[in-house]
């Protein structure tokens, strides 16, 4: 039988921002944040900047910071340790990783938070990440860089670089 959590999530409402019945737990929302299907997102202990848009089936975990005027597309997973600066675009189904060697168990028992360390990832201002990209942990993606759809990013990307492929490789510089 699959183990399940039975604790109830706290439901919070922020009527001044037009978001009703959103399942949130300790989320700091900026002004005019838009969450298109609030019953179909999972966000907890995170910060979302002003005017950011969040699509359906998105999970944003604790200690994530997302800047202002970002777009987080549907089916995206943003794990603990990720910081996204202002005006970033995160395409559909983008996955962030915060553990380079994940395991289910440690010393014969299920792992707990004390069994691993979050490795932070930083996404610069104005970055665009294409649909289906995977962003490994411990990286910095520089300002205005563009990551192609389906890329697997395994190392830092400098500002204004375009990368694509598996693993992601430099293609060219961003046009002005």
What digits encode the pLDDT tens for the residues 122-159?
999 999 999 999 999 999 999 999 999 999 999 999 99
Determine the straight-line distance between the first and last CA of the chain, rounded to whole angstroms.
Answer: 55
Predicted confidence (pLDDT) at residue 2 exceeds the cutoff of 90: no
- pLDDT in the model for residue 39: 85
141's CB contacts (< 8 A; 6+ apart) are: 122, 123, 124, 127, 129, 135, 147, 153, 156, 157
Q: pLDDT tens for residues 52-70? A: 999 999 999 999 999 999 9
Which of these, 77, 72, 32, 68, lies nearest to 48 by C-alpha position? 68
pLDDT of residue 23: 66
Annotated domain spans of the chain: 22-99+118-173
CATH topology of domain 22-99+118-173: UDP N-Acetylglucosamine Acyltransferase; domain 1 (2.160.10)
């Amino acid at each position: 039988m699959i183990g399940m959590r039975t604790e109830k999530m706290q439901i919070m409402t922020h009527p001044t921002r037009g978001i009703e019945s959103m399942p949130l737990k300790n989320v700091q929302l900026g002004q005019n944040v838009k969450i298109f299907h609030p019953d179909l997102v999972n966000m907890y202990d995170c910060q979302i900047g002003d005017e950011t848009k969040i699509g359906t089936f998105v999970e944003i975990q604790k200690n994530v910071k997302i800047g202002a005027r970002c777009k987080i597309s549907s089916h995206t997973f943003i794990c603990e340790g990720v910081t996204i600066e202002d005006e970033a675009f995160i395409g559909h189904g983008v996955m962030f990783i915060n553990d380079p060697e994940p395991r289910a168990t440690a010393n014969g028992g299920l792992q707990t938070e004390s069994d691993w360390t979050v490795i932070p990832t930083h996404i610069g201002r104005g970055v665009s990440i294409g649909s289906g990209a995977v962003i490994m942990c411990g990286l910095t993606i520089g300002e205005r860089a563009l990551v192609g759809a389906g890329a697997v990013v395994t190392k830092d990307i400098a500002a204004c670089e375009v990368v694509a492929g598996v693993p992601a490789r430099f293609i060219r510089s961003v046009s002005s």
